[in-house]
Structures are given as C-alpha cells and as structure tokens.
Amino acid sequence: MLLSRLRTATRAGEALAWTALELARVEARMALAPEGAREALFEREMKRWSRGLLWIGGVRLHLSEGPPPPPHGARLVVANHRAALDIPILLSLFGGSVLSRADLAEWPVLGYAARRAQTIFVDRDSRQSGVKAIRAIREQLQRGRTVSIFPEGTTTAGDQLLPFNSGSFAAARGLPVEIVPVGLAYPSGLEYTEDTFLAHLGNVGARPRISIGVAIGPPIAVEARSDRLAQRLQGEIQALVYRARAAAG
C-alpha cells in the first residue's frame, strides 16, 4: 500500500512538472514561429506532451492495426469511454481537441494546458452547456481540425458499450468530415468507477505498468440522420473494442 501511494505521488508530481515545462517550452517556440506555422507546431507538441504523460504513467499501447493515417481534412474521432487516460491516448494518436468534463478547466497546470489545447468543455448535466459544446465542435471541424468525442457520455467498466448519444454527431452534419471509430480495452479494475475523480487517478497512478489495447477502424462518412450514425458507430466500435481486447493480450 505504501509503495503504491508513493508511486502515485511521484507520478503526479512528474506529470505536473512535465506539463509545466512543456508549456513553457511550447510558448517560447510559438512566439518565435511564423504565425501561419503555429497551429501545426502546437499539434506536434501536443502529441509529444501526451506521449510523455503516457510514458510517465507506465502506459503501453497495443495497436491492433498500427498507427492511424494522417488526416485529409476535418476529422471526428469517436471512441468508447473508460478512463481518464482516454484523453492523452487519443491526443497522442490523433492530436486535435477533445470533448472533456467541465471541471478539468479549473485544475492547476493541467487545466491551463487543456484550455491552451482548445479543449471543448461540457457539463453533461446542463443542456445549455451541451448546446455550446456542439457549436464549439462544429466550429473546430469547419476549421479543418480533429475533435475526439465519447458519445457514451460517461465512463463504465468492461467491454460492453452503452447506447451512444447522437447530439455530438449533429455538429458534423453537412460538413466534409471523416469519422474515425476507435475501440479501447483496459485492464479490469482500471476504469473510472470510483466515487471521485481523484480516487480514479490514484488507482491509475498506483499501477507499475498498464497495457491498453487500441483498435482503429477505417474512416466513414457523415450520414444525414445523427441517430442512425450513432447506432452504426456503436456497432462498429463495439467490434473494435473486442479487437482491442485481443491486441492487449
């Protein structure tokens, strides 16, 4: 127990220090970069930061089909939602922005990093917040960016998916967006099912090594009806989760 707590505290300190150092380095580099090159520079640095966080956490990804291809424009990444690690995993692979819980914006250091990365924050108990989030997703897609979402709307344990909410898919309607389905498979007991988010982070940080399976499906086109698209993606991602489970071993 003492060793686990010490490991958790050490990793938390390392993650905060890594984030602070990376932010300072990135801000300095962007100040010197031409204005037209800053967004691409930040994308590369965001992937580097995310991979660093995963390395600090002892996370090893097992990709069933190899890394994703580069985007050909706006991209909506859709994944099942199991743990806080979902966010740095998707950022490390795809870059872009993520739809995240609202309280992350107020976290020390990490909250600033999330805001700087154009994270879209949503309070899932607020209809008004949900509407604003859909607008923000659409604005970023219109700019040709990548946005990652978790349409289950909450985290659960195991490999069975909850029904997908269709609201976020309305943000892509009528836009030239490729949708990339992703399945994630975690070790049992690592999912966010604790009473508090800090307890979940403590559980993650206490493990010496974490193997996570990732399966990335081929891109699909946006359909006119968001509810049909949600149902289709739920089925496809469910199959990808099983492939991710096999890849994780």
Instruction: Give the domain extent around 180.
Output: 2-248
Average pLDDT over residues 217-235: 89
Question: How many domains does the chain fold into?
Answer: 1
232: domain CATH number is: 3.40.1130
Token pair in block for residue 67? 């890394």
Residues 48-98: pLDDT tens digits?
A: 999 999 999 999 999 998 888 888 899 999 999 988 889 889 999 999 998
Confidence of residue 181 (pLDDT cuts 50, 70, 90): very high
Confidence of residue 108 (pLDDT cuts 50, 70, 90): low
Residues 149-164: pLDDT tens digits?
A: 999 988 888 899 999 9
Asked if residue 171 has pLDDT above 80, the reply is yes
User: What is the pLDDT at residue 185?
Assistant: 96
